[in-house]
Amino acid sequence: MSTLVVDVGGTKLRSEYEGIYEEYLSKDKELIPFLEDKLNRYKSIDTVKVSFAGQVNQGTILSSPNIKIKEKNIKEYFEKKYGIVFKIDNDLNCALLAESKIIPEKNIALLFVGSGVGSAVLENGSIIRGEKNIACEIGHIPFKKAPFLCGCGKDNCIEIFSGGAGLEKWFEYYKIEWMSLDKMKSSKDKTVKQLYENFKEGVLRAAATLTTLFNPKIMVLGGGIVKSNPFILDIIKNELEKYALKESLKELEIVISDIKNASLEGAKLL
Ligand SMILES: [Zn+2]
């Protein structure tokens, strides 16, 4: 019998089954039909493990700002229909599972900047989950008012300014052609400059909030935007002291994740 592992992010859906890795754009591949196709095709799958970029509690998807999904009671649906074991958790919690396997620390904060802005925190060896497994949703703490809504329904989240999906909305709003963060950084255009500054400040606030609230020993940065713009590490290292409590910065180490796909690796550990 075998396990199918899937990581559903805001931009990409990745899967691994018997050593075969597949990658799709999330907008082209919906999770439910993808899983049903695999389960119908490979009868030896007896376990499905999913890392999901949304709020998930006990096998139920509570919300997913950047992903469309029809079946919310996903665990029950697949276990009843296919007689398999189904495990699912938030993608950042999965990533934290993978990181904590290789980082020998008990207090770890993860900050991932990709389509959205997410975090997860290991406090004295345990993942902070809260009442409904939705603690540490750093991307949705208030930052500034925007002229459109975040995927969560509010109009002032950090994620609107510092997440990839949010940046795309800004480009659309100002009718600016999409450009990479690197290009934004050196642009002379006033609007683009402002968007870049907002992006940077949002990331710094997210990093500082995690630092001041949870006093981690190590902060691990990841996500598509960080991985393709490693200069974000220097920004945080150099400017965090303007935003975070000084004492909490003394022992803090800040690194970029070494794991190629921490959420997918972490899902295997569910
Ligand atoms: Zn939000």
Q: How many CB atoms sit inside 10 A of residue 221's CB?
A: 22
Q: Is the pLDDT of residue 129 over 90?
A: yes
73 and 98 housed in the same domain: no
- The predicted pLDDT at position 11 comes to 87
- What pLDDT score does 68 carry? 86
Does 122 share its domain with 65? no
Q: Are residues 86 and 130 in the same domain?
A: no
- Measured in Å, residue 153 CA sits from the centre of ligand 1 at 6
Distances (CA, A) of 259 to 37, 80, 221, 223, 224: 28, 34, 11, 11, 12
The partner residues of 2 in beta bridges, in order of sequence, read 45
Q: How far is the C-alpha of 159 from the C-alpha of 143, rounded, in Å?
A: 9
Confidence tier at 131 by pLDDT (50, 70, 90): very high
Q: What is the pLDDT of residues 92-103, one digit of tens each?
A: 999 999 999 999
Residue 108 CA to ligand 1 centre (angstroms): 23
Cβ pair 30, 67 in contact under 8 A = no
Q: List b or e across 108-130, with b for residues whose CB sees 16 or more CB atoms inside 10 angstroms.
A: bbbbbbbbbbbbbbbbeeebbbe
Residue 111 and residue 210 in one domain? yes
Residue 66 Cα to ligand 1 midpoint, Å, equals: 10
**Contact between 121 and 108 (Cβ < 8 Å):** yes
Structural domain of 177: 94-259
Q: What spacing in Å lies between the alpha carbon of 67 and ligand 1's midpoint? A: 13
Q: Is 83 found in the same domain as 100?
A: no
Kindly state the average pLDDT of the residues 3-11.
Answer: 94
Asked whether residue 242 falls in the same domain as residue 169, the answer is: yes
Cα–ligand 1 centroid distance for 139 (angstroms): 6
Q: What is the pLDDT of residue 66?
A: 79
Q: Let me know whether 32 and 123 are in one domain.
A: no
How many alpha carbons fall within 13 Å on the CB side of residue 190? 0
C-alpha of residue 144 to centroid of ligand 1, in Å: 11
* Dist. CA 194 → ligand 1 center (Å): 20
Cα of 154 from ligand 1 centre, angstroms? 5
Indicate the residue type of 54: G
Mean pLDDT over 176-182 rounds to 93
Task: Write the pLDDT tens digit of every residue in 203-242.
Answer: 999 999 999 999 999 999 999 999 999 999 999 999 999 9
Cβ–Cβ under 8 Å, residues 12 and 23: yes
Number of structural domains (the chain) is: 2
Q: How far is the CA of 142 from the centre of ligand 1 (A)?
A: 8
Q: How far is the CA of 161 from the centre of ligand 1 (A)?
A: 10
Same-domain pairing of 80 and 104: no
Q: How far is the CA of 1 from the centre of ligand 1 (A)?
A: 40
Instruction: Give the mean pLDDT of 167-195.
Output: 96
Looking at the fold, whether 44 and 121 belong to one and the same domain comes out as no
> Within this chain, do residues 77 and 116 fall inside the same structural domain, yes or no?
no
d(CA 181, ligand 1 centre) in Å: 21
| Among candidate residues 121, 95, 126, 93, the one with its CA nearest the CA of residue 108 | 121
The CATH number for 212's domain is 3.30.420.40
Whether residue 99 sits in one domain with residue 80? no
Same domain, 8 and 124: no
